């Protein structure tokens, strides 16, 4: 009764419906991480200086640039666009914090999935994606471009790939009823946007809009998954119950 509800006891068993208390704690970290990052982006955008920040023409990372100046001449030849983000530290701190909360939250929600290889792979990819987000904040685009680009690529690619793998991990788990198809679709949309973004095929969304199409499915999934897991009833392990008697 006190074991991992995700551990199989029969080939045809459907897992669920309870979760460990640690899962709820991880879910709360997911919710906090997403909300504080979105707030951080909005606040930084409101403090943008010298020109209007564009959701289609500007990269997300323009919010974290240390210095004001002309950037992205390769995207907007010949003169690039002017970037000036006085509140860059707000953005950088918020994305570092989000990455940290994603890493810790992912470790805590582990038992919210059945114990199978796809769980380990999917959650492992999410942890690495969180580390990539931390790297984005620690190395802004005008501070260490190489580390910044690699970190962003890791967060973009592995984060959305993780959703596809986790959709498989949710199979026959009643705790994720209604979320499997959504999780899979989110990962597919993010990966398609990732491919189009790096291929330079942005269409009417522009470079900024296409980049947001990579990030948005993952952020929305983390927020909704966090809310969902936080609402599932918890149980105490048998050792804890025995200690109370």
Nearest to 112 by CA among 39, 24, 171, 28: 24
Angle CA(219)–CA(220)–CA(225) in degrees, nearest 5? 100
In-domain check, residue 8: no
Q: Does residue 12 lie in a domain region?
A: no
Which pLDDT does position 232 carry in this prediction? 83
Q: Residue 6 domain-assigned?
A: no
> Can you tell me the mean pLDDT for 219-244?
76
Assigned domain for 244 exists: no
Whether 103 maps to a domain, the answer reads yes
Report the mean per-residue pLDDT for the chain. Answer: 89
Q: What percent of the chain has pLDDT over 90?
A: 76
pLDDT of residue 50: 77
111: which DSSP letter?
Answer: G
CA pair distance 76, 214, nearest whole angstrom? 21
Tell me, what's the pLDDT at 15? 63
pLDDT category of residue 233 using cuts at 50, 70 and 90 = confident
Nearest residue to 100 via CA among 53, 47, 44, 36:
36
* pLDDT of residue 181 exceeding 80: yes
**Does the structure show a pLDDT above 50 at 244?**
no
Residues 6+ apart with CB under 8 A from 224: 179, 182
Q: Is 238 exposed, middle or buried (0-12, 13-18, 19+ CB in 10 A)?
A: exposed
Contact of 177 with 130, CB cutoff 8 Å: no
pLDDT at 82: 93
User: Is 116 within the bounds of a domain?
Assistant: yes
Q: What pLDDT score does 174 carry? A: 85
Helix residue spans in 12-87 (DSSP H): 21-46
Residue 122 included in any domain? yes
Total domains, the chain? 1
The tens digit of pLDDT for each residue in 104-162 reads 999 999 989 988 999 999 999 999 999 999 999 999 999 999 999 999 999 999 999 99
Confidence grade of residue 97 (pLDDT, cut at 50, 70, 90):
very high
Domain region containing 168:
19-231
pLDDT tier at 14 (50, 70, 90 boundaries)?
low
| Residue in the block written with tokens 């114990």 | 115
Radius of gyration for the chain, computed over Cα atoms and rounded to the nearest angstrom: 20
Question: Residue 224 has what pLDDT?
Answer: 96
Split at pLDDT 50, 70, 90, the class of 179 is very high
Phi, psi of 46 (to 5 degrees): -65, -25
Asked whether residue 139 is domain-assigned, the answer is yes
């Amino acid at each position: 009764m006190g074991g991992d509800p995700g551990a199989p006891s029969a080939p045809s068993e459907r897992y669920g419906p309870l979760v460990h208390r640690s899962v709820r704690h991880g879910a709360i970290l997911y919710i906090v991480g997403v909300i504080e990052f979105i707030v951080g982006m909005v606040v930084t955008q409101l403090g943008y200086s010298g020109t209007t920040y564009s959701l289609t023409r500007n990269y997300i990372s323009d919010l974290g640039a240390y210095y004001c100046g002309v950037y992205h001449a390769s995207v907007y030849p010949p003169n690039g666009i002017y970037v000036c983000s006085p509140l860059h530290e707000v953005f950088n701190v918020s994305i570092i914090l989000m990455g940290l909360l994603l890493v810790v939250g992912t470790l805590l929600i582990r038992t919210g999935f059945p114990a199978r290889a796809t769980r380990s792979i999917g959650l492992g990819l999410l942890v690495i994606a969180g580390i990539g987000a931390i790297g984005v904040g620690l190395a802004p685009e005008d501070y260490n471009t190489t580390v910044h680009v690699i970190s962003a690529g890791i967060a973009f690619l592995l984060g959305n790939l993780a959703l596809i793998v986790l959709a498989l991990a949710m199979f026959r788990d009643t705790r994720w009823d209604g979320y499997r198809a959504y999780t899979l679709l989110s990962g597919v949309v993010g990966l398609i946007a990732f491919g189009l973004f790096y291929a330079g095929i942005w269409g009417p969304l522009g470079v900024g809009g296409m980049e947001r199409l990579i990030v948005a499915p993952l952020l929305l999934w983390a927020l909704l998954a966090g809310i969902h897991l936080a609402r599932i009833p918890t149980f105490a392990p048998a050792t804890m119950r025995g200690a109370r008697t």
